[in-house]
Amino acid sequence: MPDFQFSCPIPIDQYPHVLMAHGGGGKLMQQLIQKMFLPAFGNNGKPSTLQHDSALLKIPTELIAFTTDSYVIHPLFFPGGDIGSMAVYGTVNDLAMSGARPSYISVSFILEEGLPMKTLWNVVQSMRRAAMEVGVQIVTGDTKVVDKGKGDGIFINTAGVGIVEYPYAIAPQSIRPGDVILLNGDIGRHGIAIMAMREGLEFETTIKSDSAPVSNVVLELLKVGVTIHCLRDLTRGGLASALNEIAQTSGMAIQVDEGLIPVREDVRGACEILGFDPLYVANEGRFIAFVPQGKVEKALAILRSHNSDACGIGSVIGRSNRNMGLVTLQSQIGANRILDLLSGEQLPRIC
């Protein structure tokens, strides 16, 4: 049976909000660590490295993946997720894009004075559940408190370590002409869910974020012998930005077919109303994989076992002076256009 705690152990009647003293190194900070963070992130009753200045970790390999990220999303809670679960999933997903098995995470909180303690408790418990779901340990962290008005509730910084178990160089430089680009599901939901929540927009249906971990499906692909040349998660800038980054880094030309890219009708409609292009809208549980033609059928079978919308959306054309590093989109009416990077940002503060 899962080990749940149903109420915050911090005495809410005495400290209903975060105080500057909760980051000051004294009794209140120790109370926060001992009663909130250690029960949530401790290692199943074993001595916790969270009580020391650094974590001592056993790494059973010569090759690891290491990543860091920060989360400043507004609002903190949204349909389909919250800043806590997203911080864990986002870190795990970044490691998965190198083909690594996520193992350890560090978590640092920057809290604004006056933050309701219940809000912090809910975020911490969401992180705990997310870490248990993906099998990653939160092993060290830090807490700082800033003056009221100098933050926005909670900012979270993470770092992650993953173990590389498969001998593939998964990187943009590894893609080859003829590689097929696979997408693991529909796009655009996260950015639209955040925008709707932030601006109080109401649609016929509630659009939920796609925030989710993808490490298990990536590791499943590798385990069955699918050769993966490159992986990229489709966060800020969405699908279009990810494709451009890979094309420019590799020097290869990429072509995708707009008619093959799955976008839910409610998301498409919301984008039309708001003037957004779903190809540039952020996602938090979507990635693209570049695989050789001979591995496509096996890869798609696995991807579709997790999400029926998974599909092939295009391919790597090759390299020439004329099209080096370009991404072209074949529209639904058959015309081709260059799919370029945005000059600005459609939606700020979405992760």
Tens digit of pLDDT for each residue in 50-63? 666 788 888 887 89
In the chain, CATH 3.90.650.10 sits at: 172-338
User: With 50 as the cut, is the pLDDT of residue 334 above it?
Assistant: yes
Closest C-alpha to 249, from 182, 302, 174: 174
What's the CATH fold of domain 172-338?
Answer: Phosphoribosyl-aminoimidazole Synthetase; Chain A, domain 2 (3.90.650)
**For residue 9, what pLDDT is reported?**
67
pLDDT at 77: 96
Per-residue pLDDT for 44 more than 50? Answer: no
- Residue-wise pLDDT for 232-269, tens only, equals 999 999 999 999 999 999 999 999 999 999 999 999 99
Q: What is the pLDDT averaged over residues 117-130?
A: 96
> In this structure, are residues 232 and 244 in contact, taking their beta carbons and an 8 Å threshold?
no
Is the pLDDT at 168 greater than 90? The verdict is no
pLDDT for residue 13 is more than 80: no
Residue-wise pLDDT for 309-326, tens only, equals: 999 999 999 887 778 889
Residue limits of CATH 3.30.1330.10 in the chain: 20-164
How far does Cα 309 stand from its chain's mean position? 19
Contact 42, 48 (CB under 8 A): yes
- What does pLDDT average to over the chain? 91
Please give the CATH topology (third level) of the domain spanning 20-164.
60s Ribosomal Protein L30; Chain: A; (3.30.1330)
Sheet holding 137-146, edge to edge: 64-71, 154-164, 100-112, 137-146
Encode pLDDT of 84-96 as tens digits. 999 999 999 999 9
- CA–CA distance from 103 to each of 82, 159, 218, 279 (Å)? 22, 11, 15, 32
Cα dist. 227→32, 169, 180, 215, 230 in Å?
Answer: 46, 10, 12, 16, 9
Q: What is the CB neighbour count within 10 angstroms for residue 20?
A: 14
Predicted local confidence at residue 324, as pLDDT = 85
**Whole-number Å distance between alpha carbons of 165 and 277:** 37
